[in-house]
Chains A and B, each alone.
Chain A
Amino acid sequence: MTERRPFSWGSPLTYSLAFAVAAISIAPVVYVIVGGFRTTPQIVADPAGLPDPWVWDNYARVLTQSDFWGQAFNSAVIALGTTIAVVALGVSAAYVLARYTFRGREALYTFFTLGLLFPAGAAILPLYLMLRDLNLTNSYYAVILPQVAFSLPLTIVILRPFLSAIPRELEDAAAIDGTGKLGFLWRITLPLSKPALVTVGVLAFVASWNAFLLPLLVLSDASLHTLPLGVQNFSSQYTSDTAGILAFTSLAMLPALVFFTFAEKQIVGGLQGAVKG
């Protein structure tokens, strides 16, 4: 940050506006979390009321009797797999595009950036058919591989300028010491570009954690379901159990909220990088 003046107390108008905006943003979220502490009859009788008394039963029920933990595990495996693969493949390709000089380099870059124009949603039906013919449906790969493929263009667009900016002198010095380009990638580039790698990793992780359409089509086996599928199924299966749905929904969004609180800088930084191009 380039702040030179200390923060001061803003005007009352600034604060009231800021409070109003914040309230609109989180009121529904708070409502869902608090609603999970009520019983369904309480909610029906007074939809906008507070818990009276507070009940823990809904949360306890979801944590002990539903498939919550299995689904959280599936979500975690798929999100981690996607993140690791996106970062590994993305940094390799971006490194070549940033630090090798060869015929067709810009053509290759354009080829990848074209992927930004391919909406993942439009490819979903043929993607499903292809995975079905490859016997990959109902496996973690069925979600991971397409997610990696569709995240690569943005990853490369964010990483390439970052890797290009590493001074050439460093590379020459490494070469004099007998380190080739691969050694330079492994020993110097990767440690130096950690912030950018974290950024693309966080973006890939959040996108995967929240993904719905792809898992919906390719994971029909309930034991492989991820949290978004679990929330949706729970809410359509137990329609009358409003309190249970609220509790399940709160628990499902908790990891994303915690994760976001810690990774907010990286997410914002990543989008900032994307804006600068």
Chain B
Amino acid sequence: MTSTQHLAGGATASPARPVYRGSGRAAETRRKWYEIIGLTTPAIAVYVMFVLVPMGFAVYYSLYRWRGVGPPTQFVGFDNYVLAFQDPIFIDALRNNAIIVVGSLLVQGPIALGVALLLNRRFRGRTVFRLLVFVPYVLAEVTVGIMWKLILTDGGTVDALLKSLGLGSLTQAWLADLDVVIWTLLFVLTWKYVGFAIILLLAGLSNVPAELTEAAAIDGAGWWQVQRHITLPLLGPTIRIWMFLSIIGSLQVFDVIWVTSVPAVRSLGASGTMATYMVDNGFFARLWGYGNAVAVILFVISFVAALLFQRFLLRRDIEGAITRRVG
């Protein structure tokens, strides 16, 4: 960063800058701009075309009642948005997303912190344990969903294990009971994504200077005191970045829910999220205008959550990346 940062103001800053061969100042500038345009255009084009343009179209389509055939003609204003907020199944989806957002933070955070501190200690075989803990994170969401669906099926492995432990009374219709399914899904999501939190926290821990913890230990601080007063405060930025990514991910969650939870349960609102609701109604039921309205709602909620989080918590951590003002 530092070597170019101070040059940002103007092109003439470096006195030792050699002149390119066979070119005057004007030719050099023109050539520089050709290179800038040539190197950035492909990335800008793909990014604009497939990230920004579709979101613009979503807003446009969301104002129509449209079955996806021919251009949209039946303008309905904000009716689709009103309809969404009047649909109890969509409200259920919002509630499920809220459970997943809050639940992921409250459950994954402490577990990840504990495991990261544990695996940050020096002991033989640490590398292998780290590798094993990350396994769920690299598996495809679909694989994880199907795996747990089979394990949690009625009279399946989990039920059998509970019975063999004499806890038969705890067996549930894990994925079919409308009051239980969202908590089962929260468990599966935790199993899948806690490894990601652990990777991030271990990365953050590796940036904590050993001198600090060693000095504290020499001064007589116990392991727990060192973690509490030195390591944890220094982990603050990493924890906040993880929270940010976790919240955004939880708001958009689709794959695991879609695969693990059967459509019948989803359609009753017990397990669906905004994203599954959007795909069910927009893509499969061909209510394109309505589906796009849900897409815009999902986008606005994620966007506002991201901005609020950055405004209040993240500002210092990724200064210069997202929050920097133009200029």
| Interface of A toward B, CB cutoff 8 Å | 2-5, 7-10, 14-15, 17-18, 21-22, 24-26, 28-29, 31-32, 35, 46-48, 85, 88-90, 92-93, 95-102, 105-108, 110, 112-130, 145-146, 148-150, 152-153, 156-157, 161, 164-168, 172, 175-176, 178, 180-182, 185, 206, 209-210, 212-213, 217, 227-229, 231-232, 235, 242, 245-246, 249, 252-253, 256-257, 259-261, 264, 267-268, 271-272, 274-277
Q: Identify 16 new A-B residue pairs, CB closer than 8 A, beyond the known A4-B210, A231-B140, A253-B139.
A: A22-B133, A28-B147, A89-B46, A101-B7, A101-B13, A102-B32, A121-B254, A125-B278, A130-B50, A146-B50, A156-B43, A164-B5, A180-B31, A231-B142, A253-B143, A260-B138
Q: Which of A106, A116, A149 lies at the interface centre, i.e. has the most chain B CB atoms within 10 A of its CB?
A: A149
Complex alpha-carbon distance, A116 and B47, angstroms: 11
B44 lies within 8 A of A93 (CB): yes
19 of the cross-chain contacts (CB-CB < 8 Å) are A14-B123, A18-B129, A21-B129, A92-B40, A92-B42, A93-B40, A102-B11, A116-B322, A118-B303, A121-B298, A122-B252, A126-B57, A149-B46, A164-B1, A164-B5, A229-B142, A232-B259, A267-B199, A271-B203
Q: How far is the CA of A126 from the CA of B296 in the complex (A)?
A: 10
Q: Closest approach, in angstroms, between the C-beta of A177 and any C-beta of chain B?
A: 10
Interface majority SS on A: helix, strand, loop or mixed? helix
Q: Which of B14, B47, B131, B295 has the largest count of A CB atoms less than 10 A from its CB?
A: B47
Given A3-B122, A92-B40, A268-B199, do A157 and B306 touch, yes or no (CB 8 Å)? no
Cβ of B72 to closest chain A Cβ, rounded Å: 10
State whether the Cβ of B238 lies closer than 8 Å to any Cβ in chain A. Answer: yes
- A180–B132 touching, CB < 8 Å: no
Say yes or no: A100 contacts B36, CB within 8 Å. Answer: yes
Question: Is B269 part of the binding interface, using a Cβ–Cβ cutoff of 8 Å?
Answer: no
Q: Contacts A10-B121, A168-B3 known; A126 to B47 CB distance under 8 Å? A: no
CA distance A11 to B326 in the complex (A): 53
Instruction: Please give the distance in Å from A137's CB to the nearest CB on chain B.
Output: 12
Q: Is A25 in contact with B133, judged by CB distance below 8 angstroms?
A: yes
Q: How far is the CB of A189 from chain B (nearest CB, A)?
A: 12
Q: Nearest Cβ distance between residue B145 and chain A, in whole angstroms?
A: 8
In contact, A167 and B3 (Cβ under 8 angstroms)? yes
Q: Which residue of A lies closest to B50 (CB)?
A: A149
Q: Of B15-23, B74-82, B83-91, which stretch is located at the interface?
A: B15-23
Give, as a whole number of angstroms, the nearest-CB distance from B303 to chain A: 6
Chain B, residue nearest A7 (CB)? B124
The answer, among B14, B39, B151, B195, for a CB contact under 8 Å with A25, is B195
Assembled-state Cα–Cα distance A209/B181 (Å): 28
Beyond A25-B135, A150-B50, whether A102 also contacts B252 by CB under 8 A is no
Does B170 reach chain A (CB closer than 8 Å)?
Answer: no
CB of B318 within 8 A of chain A?
yes
Partner of A275, one of B57, B238, B278: B238
For residue B248, CB closer than 8 A to chain A, the reply is yes
> What residues of A have a CB within 8 angstroms of the CB of B136 in the complex?
25, 29
- B110 at the binding interface (Cβ < 8 Å): no
B161 within 8 A of partner (CB): yes
Which of B99-107, B152-160, B172-180, B224-232 has 4 or more CB atoms under 8 Å from chain A? B152-160
A101 with B139: CB separation less than 8 A: no
- Which residues does chain B contribute within 8 Å of A31, judged by CB atoms? 147, 151, 157
Bound CA span A257–B138, Å: 7
Instruction: Indicate whether B94 reaches chain A with its CB closer than 8 angstroms.
Output: no
B218 to chain A, nearest CB (A): 14
B291 at the interface (CB under 8 A from A): yes
Contact A246 B321 (CB under 8 A): no
How distant is A169 from chain B, measured CB to nearest CB, in Å? Answer: 9
Q: A26-B135, A149-B51, A242-B150 are in contact. Are A92 and B39 (CB under 8 A)?
A: yes
Query: Which residues in B have their C-beta under 8 angstroms from that of A29?
Result: 135-136, 139, 147
Query: Given the interface contacts A22-B132, A106-B8, A275-B238, does A125 sit within 8 Å of B291 by beta carbon?
Result: yes
What string of 1s and 0s marks CB contacts (under 8 Å) between B26-64 and chain A?
000001110110011011101101111111011001000
Question: Contact check: which of A7, A235, A257, A271 meets B200 at CB < 8 Å?
Answer: A271
User: Does B295 contact A124, Cβ atoms closer than 8 Å?
Assistant: yes
Shortest CB-to-CB span from B71 to chain A, Å, is 10
Q: Known contacts A31-B151, A102-B11, A242-B150; is A122 also within 8 Å of B299 by CB? A: yes
Q: Which of B155, B206, B320 is the one whose CB lies under 8 Å from A272?
A: B206
* Docked complex Cα distance between A256 and B137 (Å): 10
- B282 within 8 Å of A (CB atoms): yes
Contact present for B302 and A96 (CB under 8 Å): no
* In the complex, chain B residues whose CB is within 8 Å of the CB of A277: 317-321
User: From residue B171, how far is it (CB to closest CB) to chain A in Å?
Assistant: 12
Q: A26-B132, A101-B13, A118-B51 are in contact. Are A256 and B157 (CB under 8 A)?
A: no
Which residues of B sit under 8 angstroms from A35, Cβ to Cβ? 150
Give the contacting residue for B288; candidates A47, A89, A129, A227; CB below 8 A.
Answer: A129
